[in-house]
Homo-oligomer: A and B are copies of this chain.
């Protein structure tokens, strides 16, 4: 029988979620923080048993929060996606890395007369605009091309004071060049990454390059390292704590990625539950090269229903 004692600071091997420790976990936390991709859905497909599990947790008075590194959507667009999948989740319960990027600028008193260049999707542009900032680039620059000829000067806006880089399905040389010139040539220009995930489940069948790919490109061309606002950075945690008036030790982060979700939870002092329904397999978890051990692991979120006999 597995031990039922959770120890968030331990590097001991993760415990398989069981009837006994699932009950302990539930009793010891007031809020569950869920990653979305690979936990709630894969691509546009809901993972088995999610509606019932979320309903059970809400019925037990648990706060539910959805923390996603995917920046292609804004919080409004995420709330719509939840609704489309038959889940009732409000915008206030969603913390996306697109929102985090806008909040980072807000918290750091980014001058409103300055502009933000976006390498990424509509989600980032929307969140920046909702926060009162002027966003350039994003999907609008998807078809633009740099002229490759002698004596060509590539003009960039000298008022750009921050470049936000996230997952960009329409990445091109023009955007890489624009962002690079802003960071290299505009004095004090910030370089903000929504997240650095190497790959992600944009479909349920395959892993495709994630935001880390675009961020890696800009790191190389600028010789700079970004401020990361998504997981595993705990930047978003400040907002969560303020909003829900909770203690991190009474939160459980549920995710499918060791290096973002589980590390984020551990960095913040939360309990952590790894689900194997996304990018991490049991053999990755058990590999000696893996140094990140969650408190618990299970196949999928809804296992908790069966384990608790709900």
Contacts and interface: CB of A to CB of B under 8 A. Distances in A.
A43 interface: yes
Interface in A13-27: none
A136 interface: no
Contacts of A181: 206
A96 to B, nearest CB: 17
A151 B41 CA distance: 12
Copies in the complex: 2
Contacts of A198: 220-223
A43 B150 contact: yes
A contact face: mostly helix, strand, loop, or mixed:
loop
A216 B220 contact: yes
A243 interface: no
A64 to B, nearest CB: 24
Interface string A185-210: 00000000000101100111111111
Contacts of A209: 173, 176-177, 180, 217, 220-221
Given A150-B45, A169-B146, A169-B148, A216 B221 contact: yes
A174 to B, nearest CB: 10
A171 B180 contact: no
Nearest to A43: B150
Contacts of A219: 216, 220
Nearest to A170: B173
Nearest to A153: B205
23 contacts: A43-B150, A148-B202, A151-B203, A151-B205, A153-B205, A153-B206, A154-B206, A168-B173, A170-B172, A170-B173, A171-B176, A176-B209, A176-B213, A177-B208, A180-B213, A196-B220, A198-B222, A198-B223, A199-B221, A209-B217, A216-B217, A216-B218, A216-B220
